A and B are shown apart, each in its own frame.
Chain A
Amino acid sequence: MRKILVKGTAKGTVLKTEMPINFLGTVDKKTGIVSDKNHDLFGKSIKDSILVFPSGVGSSVGAYTIYSIKSNNAAPLAMICRKADLTVATGCALANIPLAIVSEKEFLSFQNGQRISVDTESEDMISIIG
């Protein structure tokens, strides 16, 4: 079962974490690099990735951070979450980043480094291309 919250298309490489992301204060607005030492994406940039993570957490102002990284060309190409939250949903909507919610099973199937294609208007919506 998939749900599309923000439509769009993207092709890119999966960057996956099992940890929720608090965009406000833990993702650098200019570079997209995760600055939270306790996060398993610490030191990695989310720029130009297909970011796969459980959900956003924390302040609703985090939506402004998502908008900000997009304005600075440091945003993911698309996001895929297990659970919908309004911070990520409205942040992606404003920044025009495709956002899909997927089932637990499908979430588990994504692997770091996989090449995938997201096209919310196509029949498959999300497909592995390599």
Chain B
Amino acid sequence: MELTREEESALKGEQGEIMQMAYRILVATGEATDAEKLIPIEWAHLSGVNYNTIGDAGEEFLSGISRDAKVKVKTTLNPMGFDIDNVSDYNLDANFISKQLSIRNSYEKIGVTPSFSCIPYEIFDIPKDGTQVAFAESNAAIHANSYDNLKTNKESAFSALASALTGKSPYSSLRKDDSSNITIRMKVDNPNELTYGMLGFFAGKVGDISVNISGLKKMDNRQCKAMCGGMGTSGTCAKFLFGEGGPDSEKVDFDEKEMQNVYGELNTAEKGDIITLGSPQLGLDEISDLTSKLKGRSFKKRCMIFTPRTVKDQAKKIGYVNELERAGCEILSDCCTCLTPLINKNDVDSVTTNSIKGAFYLKNSNGVDVNLKSLSQIIEDETR
């Protein structure tokens, strides 16, 4: 990879240890993805926030760099482990809480906006078409590339951090190419968001960098998010190209049989002890839709809803939060189903959700069983 004189000087350590570390990460990422140079980015979105995932090493590292480091571009942040407003309602130990708050402080000190959201594309204004960004959260990277006309690699936690600190990222193939040699043909009738989540999960396994998708009907926001969440979970792929693809592209069908395979892999329970909605977190339109679906009904068991703080605040003003709480929902901001420490296998055997991404991590990281259902099915079965 070619570096400018200034970039070389940073790599040699002439601009301090933090810049040297950041450029070392960018060069390693660039060499690993065959990029020929670094280019400016306008927005970084970081993962590596939840103490559940980064642990003591992460906490200590961030605390160390926060003494000197400052971000150079707008930088937003993934969810953390809990919602400080109601963390006392959950059985979380004091060490977890204090380490998580230290992580939060470190990020704030280096100038990161504490958005604690995995849906930056819904709660921030989208820059103009073609803008280069660096998103580490996989569903957000896929959404940005596929729906928001932005360009990003599927960053690692460290490469996005390095991009935030330098304002640069390697010019890798996802930033320039707009073609894929694989086309997935959607063959399942009457899809709901669960179907699209499974389609995404399937696509992530089939594709490498990007995939063409054909046969899609008009999708709502919930369905788009489900598809991005599913794909980010299963592989390295970070872009959907909508259409048939070129004549040479390999065609792979996503039919009932393939869908049942994904369902069989992720659905491990007939029913759940609790319900979770949101992975990715719910946006305002989904909260609004859920409120109207729950009119005159209430959940028969606990239902946890994950949403960004800004969305919860808006929902409170409009009156949705009241309505949802009346229907028995627990509304949590700043955190998400995915890798939550709030669902523990000592208390819960199984969880009902409509999220493929949530299902994967609940099963593999939290060690609980998962019962997959679409939202309309959940409301039919689990409310009265």
CB distance from A78 to the nearest CB of B (A): 14
Question: Contact between A93 and B53 (Cβ–Cβ < 8 Å)?
Answer: no
**Stretch of A9-17, A46-54, A61-69, A102-110 that contacts chain B:** A61-69
CB distance from B180 to the nearest CB of A (A): 20
Given A3-B31, A6-B24, A89-B28, also A94-B57 (CB < 8 A): no
Q: Note all chain A residues with C-beta closer than 8 A to B58.
A: 61, 64
Q: In the assembly, what is the distance between CA of A69 and CA of B57, in Å?
A: 9
Query: Taking the complex as formed, is B207 at the interface, i.e. its CB lies under 8 A from any CB of chain A?
Result: no
Query: Taking the complex as formed, is B186 at the interface, i.e. its CB lies under 8 A from any CB of chain A?
Result: no
Given A68-B57, A93-B27, A94-B21, also A61-B48 (CB < 8 A): yes
Chain A contributes a number of interface residues (CB within 8 A of B) equal to 27
Which parts of A51-107 form the interface with B (CB within 8 Å)?
59-61, 63-65, 67-68, 71, 84-87, 89-94, 96, 99, 101
Question: Contact between B55 and A68 (Cβ–Cβ < 8 Å)?
Answer: yes
Determine the interface band of chain B, counting residues with CB < 8 A from chain A.
Answer: 20 to 34
Q: Note all chain B residues with C-beta closer than 8 A to A3.
A: 31
Q: In the assembly, what is the distance between CA of A21 and CA of B155, in Å?
A: 20
Q: Note all chain A residues with C-beta closer than 8 A to B29.
A: 86, 89-90, 93
Query: Taking the complex as formed, is A19 at the interface, i.e. its CB lies under 8 A from any CB of chain B?
Result: no
Q: In the assembly, what is the distance between CA of A106 and CA of B86, in Å?
A: 56
Q: Note all chain B residues with C-beta closer than 8 A to A6.
A: 24, 27-28
B21 nearest in chain A by CB position: A94
Question: Contact between A71 and B158 (Cβ–Cβ < 8 Å)?
Answer: no
Query: Taking the complex as formed, is B94 at the interface, i.e. its CB lies under 8 A from any CB of chain A?
Result: no
Question: Contact between A91 and B55 (Cβ–Cβ < 8 Å)?
Answer: no
Question: Contact between A90 and B159 (Cβ–Cβ < 8 Å)?
Answer: yes
Q: Note all chain B residues with C-beta closer than 8 A to A96.
A: 24
Given A60-B47, A60-B136, A64-B57, also A90-B31 (CB < 8 A): no
Binding site for A on B (CB under 8 A): 21, 24-25, 27-29, 31-33, 47-48, 53-58, 60-61, 136, 155-159, 162
What are 22 residue pairs bridging A and B, where the CB atoms are less than 8 Å apart in the complex?
A5-B32, A29-B57, A61-B47, A61-B54, A63-B157, A64-B54, A67-B57, A67-B61, A68-B55, A85-B32, A86-B29, A86-B33, A87-B156, A89-B31, A90-B29, A90-B156, A92-B28, A93-B29, A94-B158, A96-B24, A99-B28, A101-B32
